[in-house]
Amino acid sequence: MSHRSILNLPTEILNQILSICEQVSQKGETHCTAPLLTCRKLYHLTLPVLYRDLRFTYSSQPRTSYLHRSLESNPSLYLLVRSLSFDLRPKNPGEYLELDDYVAAANVLSRCEVLHSLQIWGTAFLSPEDRKPYQMEAPPGRSPIDLCRWELLQYALFQRPTLRKVEMASNRDSPGHGFKLRLDCQVQARDLRLLPGTGISLAVPGTTPREEIRLRILRKKGDAGMQGDARRRSIDFSIAFGPGHAGKEYEWRNFEFTFVFVWMKHRPHILRRMVLGDFKPPPLVKEFRAAAYPNLHTVVCPPAHVKERRRRHSPYKPPSEVIDQLLGPSVHTFVFDLTSDDQHIGVSSSAFGEPEERWLRELGQLAAAPDRNLALRTIYIDFEPDPNCEQRFDPADYAWDRILRLQSQLQRLGISVEYPAPSMTREEYHELCRQHQEWIADETVRRTGLELADNSSGPEV
C-alpha cells in the first residue's frame, strides 16, 4: 500500500490551503504559525503567506513589537511583504502615539522593496509637541494643519516605485456610524504628489541631525518612486473621511477634506466611485454633479442623503431634485445603501418599505428617459436586515416582495435591480409575525388581569 502525504500535493494547491488557513486564523486575530514547525517544505511555503499582508496596530504594542523584532532579525522577510496596513489610531480618546512608533512605521515602509498596497488608518495621532515638524501653516487664527499621515503617503510614493494601491481612512472606510464620505480614484503618482506632505521630513532611526540633512538631500535627488515612468504609474487611491468632516464653517475647520475635494475636482477624470455618508452634506458635496466626472461609474448613497431631513421618517426629496447629483452619462451602477440605517439598534426589514420602493421606481423612470442621456443600468439595493431586530410584523408585507415587484417594473426599462440573498425566507418572516402576535395577545391578557386585580383590591364601601 503506497504512503500518501499532503506534501505530495502540488505546490500551488498547498499555497491555496495555507492561504485559507491564514484567512481563517486572522478572523480570530491570530496567525497560522503551526505549519512553520512541521517540516522544511511547509516552513518555506508558509513564510510568504504569513508576511505577504502585514498589519501594524500601534495601540496593541506587544504584538507590533514582536512583528518588528521578527522583521529585523531576518531582513529578507521584508522582500515577502506585498501589502502594509498601519493602524495609527490611539487606543483611547486623548491618547497619542509615541514618535518612535511613527518613525518605526516609516522605517518598515522604506524596507519593503516590492510593496504593492498601503493602507493608513488614523489622522492626528502624535502629541502636539511631536507633530510640530509635520504641520502646515493655517490661516491666521486657526490651528496648524496636521500632516502626519500625508507624510507617510508621500514617503511611500518617493520610496516605493512598485506601489499600486493606497487607502487612507480616519475611522471607517465604508458606510456606518461615523462614516462621512469616500472617494475611489485612479490617478498617476505625480498627481498624488500634489496632495499635502513632502515625503522628505520623516526621520530615520539611528541617524544624527547632520546625517538626516544629508539623507533629505539624497531623497530629493534620487527617489526611485518618482523617477521616469514611476512618476506616471497608475495608482488606485481611496480616501475616506470620518468624524469632524461636516458642520458649520466646513471649509475652514476641515482643510484636509477641502484640499482633497478641490484636488479631485480639478482632475475630474480620476474619480471612479463615490460613496456618500449619512450626514448633512457640506457645500462642496452639495455642488457635486456626477456628469462632471467622465469616468465615474458607481455612486453609493444612503437614504439619509436624499431625505428632506436626517430623521428616519423624514420624507424623500423628489428624485428630480437629486438625479443630476447622483447620476451622469458614465454612472452605470447606483447603490442604495441601507446597511447603515439605524445601526445602533440594527437594520429591520422595515428599512425597505413603500417610500423606498416608490423613490427608486421614480429614479429609474427618470434615468431611463431618452432626453437625459444617462447610463444607469443597475440599481443595487444593499439590504441585509437582522431578523433579531425586526420591527415590521405584517404577514402581507414581506420586504423582498417589494424588491421583486420593483425588479420587474424596472427591467422593462432596461435597468436591472440586484440585491443580496434575503436574510429570512417568507416562511421565517411569517413565523416571526405569528410569534409577535402571540406575544401581543399574552401581553393583553396579562395587562387585563392586572387591571382586574387592581379593581378588585379597591377600598370597600
Helices (H), 281-335: 283-286, 319-326
Domain annotation for the chain: domains and CATH numbers: 88-275 (no CATH), 289-448 (3.30.870)
- The CA dihedral of 161, 165, 171, 174, to the nearest 10 degrees, is 170
> What pLDDT was estimated at residue 258?
82
Nearest to 425 by CA among 401, 392, 389: 401
Backbone angles phi, psi at 242, to 5 degrees: -120, -145
> What pLDDT was estimated at residue 346?
61
Q: What share of the chain is helix, strand, coil (3-state, %, to 5)?
A: 45, 15, 40
> What pLDDT was estimated at residue 252?
39
Q: pLDDT below 70 — which residues of the chain?
A: 1-2, 22-34, 36-37, 59-62, 124, 138-139, 141-143, 172-178, 199-229, 243-253, 278-282, 310-312, 340-346, 390, 392, 449-461
- Note the pLDDT tens digit of each residue in 129-177: 887 777 777 667 666 777 888 888 988 888 888 999 999 987 766 666 6
> What pLDDT was estimated at residue 243?
61
> What pLDDT was estimated at residue 222?
46
Strands of 52-204 (E only): list them: 53-57, 83-87, 117-121, 135-136, 145-146, 165-169, 181-188
> What pLDDT was estimated at residue 196?
83
Nearest to 164 by CA among 219, 119, 228: 119
In angstroms, rounded to a whole number, what is the distance separating the alpha carbons of residues 333 and 339?
17
**Cell reading at 421:** 440573498
pTM of the model: 0.81
> What pLDDT was estimated at residue 335?
95
Distances (CA, A) of 76 to 48, 52, 86, 199, 445: 11, 13, 20, 25, 73
